[in-house]
């Protein structure tokens, strides 16, 4: 953005400021958080690609929490809405004049599709309850158009169907995950065990479920359905089992 429009202000959700200023923060607080306990992390080639494509670190000029209103014209005002789940500070732009919501990665349906239309990998939400709340919020908005980042534009009944797909994936993930935890498993083993039940993306990409499934596991731990224990200390590896 700064290369194309140096005068533009860079903004993000306030809870995500520490993630958005550069690759170091993105790795430390998002992309590399599963390394210490689960030995899941990007390889050298992927890190090199991220560094090359990400550009130089840039300061965030302004942050929003949701609820802010931006005037784009005499009779055109849009609202910023907090839609957490994919990230704590994720934001959507609601345009009541055109009954449209620009949601980015707010909801993911059954997963991410490539430009060829085939499924590439599963949803990447991290906080399950926040994500379910965002789905419910979008369902209640009086919109006829939903614009995301990785999916075709959804119109009219397609919006409700996309919300329903997003919720159904969460519910399915809960069911298949708790079934698999009758046997102690690491997060990597869990991804491999449930991937085929959750989607038809290439099986090598089941590992990309790790962020979402880690969110489900945190919720299970909090409710007492699952316990965690250290399988090995060098390297450290945590496993989970149903109570």
Residue 4 within any structural domain of the chain: no
- 2 in any annotated domain: no
**Two structure tokens written together for 14:** 């306030």
Query: Domain range holding 54?
Result: 11-62
Locate all alpha helices (DSSP H) within the chain, ordered by sequence.
17-20, 23-26, 35-38, 44-54, 128-140, 157-180, 187-198, 210-223
Buried b (16+ CB within 10 A) or exposed e, 172-202: ebeebbeebbeeebbbbebbebbbeebbebe
Global pTM? 0.95
Cis status, amide bond into 231, omega within 30 of 0: no
- The CATH number assigned to the domain holding 228 equals 3.60.15.10
Tell me how far apart the terminal alpha carbons of the chain are, to the nearest angstrom: 49
Find the mean pLDDT for residues 121-146. Answer: 98
Q: Residue 158: inside a domain, yes or no?
A: yes
> Is the pLDDT score of 2 beyond 90?
no
Question: Of all residues in the chain, what percent carry a pLDDT higher than 90?
Answer: 94
User: Do 150 and 48 share a structural domain?
Assistant: no
| Whether 88 and 195 share a structural domain | yes
Question: Per-residue pLDDT tens for 140-196?
Answer: 999 999 999 999 999 999 999 999 999 999 999 999 999 999 999 999 999 999 999
């Amino acid at each position: 953005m700064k290369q194309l429009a140096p005068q533009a202000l860079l903004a993000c959700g306030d809870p995500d400021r520490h993630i958005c200023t550069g690759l170091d923060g993105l790795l430390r607080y998002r992309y590399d958080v599963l390394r210490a306990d689960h030995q899941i992390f990007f390889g050298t080639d992927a890190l090199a690609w991220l560094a090359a494509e990400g550009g130089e670190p840039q300061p965030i000029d302004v942050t929003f929490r949701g609820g802010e209103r931006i005037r784009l014209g005499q009779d055109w005002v849009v609202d910023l809405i907090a839609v957490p789940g994919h990230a704590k500070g994720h934001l959507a732009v609601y345009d009541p004049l055109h009954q449209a919501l620009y949601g980015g990665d707010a909801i993911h349906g059954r997963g991410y599709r490539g430009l060829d239309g085939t499924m590439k990998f599963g949803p990447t939400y991290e906080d399950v309850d926040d994500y379910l709340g965002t789905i419910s919020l979008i369902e209640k908005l009086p919109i006829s158009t939903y614009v995301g980042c990785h999916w075709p534009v959804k119109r009219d009944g397609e919006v409700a169907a996309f919300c329903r797909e997003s919720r159904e994936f969460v519910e399915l993930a809960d069911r298949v995950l708790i079934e698999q935890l009758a046997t102690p498993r690491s997060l990597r083993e869990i991804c491999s065990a449930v991937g085929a039940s959750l989607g038809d993306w290439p099986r090598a990409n089941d590992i990309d479920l790790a962020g979402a499934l880690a969110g489900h596991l945190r919720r299970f731990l909090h409710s007492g359905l699952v316990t965690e224990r250290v399988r090995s200390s060098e390297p450290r590896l945590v496993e989970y089992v149903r109570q």
